[in-house]
Chain A
Amino acid sequence: MAVIEAEGLVKVYRSRKSDVRALDGVDLDVQEGTVLGLLGPNGAGKTTAVRVLTTLLRADEGRATIAGLDVARDAQAVRRLIGLSGQYAAIDENLTGRENLWMFGRLYQLGTHDAKERATELLTRFDLEKAADRVAKTYSGGMRRRLDLAAALIGRPKLLFLDEPTTGLDPRSRLGMWDVIRTQVREGATLLLTTQYLEEADALADEIAVVDQGKIIARGTADELKTQVGGERIEVVVHDRDLLERAAQLIAPDGSASIDEHTRRLTVAAEGGAQQLVDVVLRLGEEQIRVDDVGLRRPTLDDVFLALTGHAAETAPESEETAAPTTAEGESA
């Protein structure tokens, strides 16, 4: 059964200067107990979609339901089912971690004793025990993020919305966050998460929806998407710019290599994996073409975009980025 469903969502931010069509007809469905990853570059509309689904923002057109409840008409009932961790940690900086969780628990309508116990439990689970009685102002970015996620879990929601849960985390904290998220899913939660990293969607999501300019441009499992993109790629940086064309011919006789003149970089899909890399290196060696760098790499979000849209995943001009809360900068746990 689809517990999250959306049909034709449109949201236009209007301002004096220009209108931004942040959602341009988004259809979504997430089956119970599964994880959907919304993957997209800056300004794609991920946050807007999450805000509509979590009752924070009213869509201009289309409808969305959570467990059959309309997010606009039955907003209060929807809120009883969901937990939200937004893109920027939304915690009270002047309360301690424990007080924050207690407060959100109370407002989730837990009894005061229940809220206290739940707070302690989550502080332990998120490795915040030591900092539990310090005001959140003193927390690092990673700690804020964890506290924010704990707040989202306070009422044991069946449905979780996580907007870029690992942006700004160091690699170790990111893995820790992945663990926490996986635990939630194992315990039966349905999850919608947004991310800018294919790797993250790959690691966590059952299904991925690629968002670009307010539209879902592709959907599938990570493997399906990667096949569309063509799996791994071989990258070669040629030392001598004059030999770029020649090298491109060698590594891909069918002319499929993309050439970046400026960085002298050649990229070609590598269905043959490591063996194909060896072949390429040998061929270049035979012709005595000097290379500065050569390697095999996995497809990135950029490749997905290039393959799906024909344009690179350019970042939309982000006017609100600079006005965003300061909690996003320089974070590390």
Chain B
Amino acid sequence: MNSLRIAVADGIVISWRNLKRVPRIPELAIFAILQSIMFVLLFAFVFGGAIPLPGGGSYREFLMPGIFVQTLAFASVTTAIAVADDMTKGLIDRFRSLPMARSAVLSGRTFADIVYNIGLLIVLMLTGLVIGWRVHSGVLDFIYGVLLLLFFTYAMAWIGVFLGLSVPTVEVAQQLGFLVIFPITFLSNAFVPIETLPAALQPIAEWNPISALTGAARELFGNPNPFASNSFPGEHPIFMSIVWTIALLAVFMPLAIRKYRAIDR
């Protein structure tokens, strides 16, 4: 169909321009990576010794999947900032004045984010390998795990788009992003086993999508995965991360699209 062809072609052009941003402002990617590496160093070498893993195992191998999920979650802030920037600079208006596929601005954006996040993930995995992280499962499980992470990234990108379209300035996008992402990554099993958290916070951490994704990645990569208690999400992290990702997409994709369509109000 012709309109589908245009939608794909325009989406690719938009993805291209979003990805061009990465080498043109290398600081963005470099800081994202440095921030994650800082977390790796902090937890692996500073706090790591003091964090007991129920059931044993290497803390560094436990840590890396948490770092992957945290970094990918933070990437949604990068998305929000870029979208807010396009809004305030009038670029979105320019796109809207062109006879291009309406879907392309958002589909191109979120597709570019996946590509960018694949790059981030590769760098992080290499970092992990350097400090002693290993995959102990089979190739298929590994690929399954990576796909789950990318699927999650896709949902996070839509949250980023929604945020970016909703805020008045880039600075607000940035602050709001950190305000949301920091607490939810810390109220999870990303850095510490859930049973080391205060009892009152444990249920929150168990049902946290970050915990589900981290748990799923640990399971599929064959890393230590001491998910606390006999809670349902703790026992089914893969199932829970699929449910969570679909739920986030089901909520934020329509919200973002509606927001985008309502720009002409």
A contact residues vs B (CB 8 Å cutoff): 51, 54-58, 76, 79-80, 82, 84, 86, 88-95, 99, 103-104, 106-109, 135, 151, 155, 323, 325, 327
Contacts and interface: CB of A to CB of B under 8 A. Distances in A.
A106 B9 contact: yes
Nearest to B105: A107
Contact of B94 (A80, A94, A104): A104
B13 A55 contact: no
Interface stretch (B18-26, B40-48, B51-59): B18-26
Interface of B: 6, 9-10, 13-14, 16-17, 20-21, 24-25, 88-91, 93-100, 102, 104, 168-169, 263-265
Contacts of A51: 93
A58 B264 contact: yes
Contacts of B91: 90-92
Contact of A107 (B21, B100, B169): B100
Given A92-B91, A325-B89, A106 B20 contact: no
A155 B21 CA distance: 25
Given A93-B89, A109-B6, A79 B24 contact: no
Contacts of B20: 94-95, 99
Nearest to A59: B264
Most buried by A among B20, B89, B90, B97: B97
Given A82-B97, A103-B17, A106-B9, 7 more contacts: A51-B93, A84-B97, A94-B20, A95-B20, A104-B98, A106-B13, A107-B104
Contact of A55 (B6, B90, B97, B168): B97
A109 B100 CA distance: 7
Nearest to B24: A94
A90 B94 contact: yes
Given A94-B24, A106-B9, A106-B13, A325 B90 contact: yes
Nearest to B264: A58
Contact of A80 (B24, B99, B263): B99
Contacts of A106: 9-10, 13
A73 to B, nearest CB: 13
Contact of B97 (A58, A79, A94, A323): A79
B30 to A, nearest CB: 15
A333 to B, nearest CB: 20
Chain B interface SS verdict (over half): helix
A92 B88 contact: no
A56 B21 contact: no
A79 B25 contact: no
Contacts of A103: 13, 16-17
Contacts of B169: 323
Nearest to A93: B89
B186 to A, nearest CB: 33
A107 B90 contact: no
A109 B99 contact: yes
Contacts of B25: 94
Contacts of B94: 84, 86, 90-91, 104, 151
A107 B13 contact: yes
The 7 closest A-B pairs by CB, nearest first: A90-B90, A90-B94, A94-B24, A107-B100, A79-B99, A80-B99, A84-B97
Contacts of B100: 107-109
A81 to B, nearest CB: 9
Contacts of A58: 264-265
Nearest to A88: B90
B123 to A, nearest CB: 21
11 contacts: A79-B97, A89-B90, A90-B94, A91-B94, A94-B20, A95-B20, A99-B17, A106-B10, A325-B89, A325-B90, A327-B89
Given A86-B90, A106-B9, A107-B13, A55 B264 contact: yes
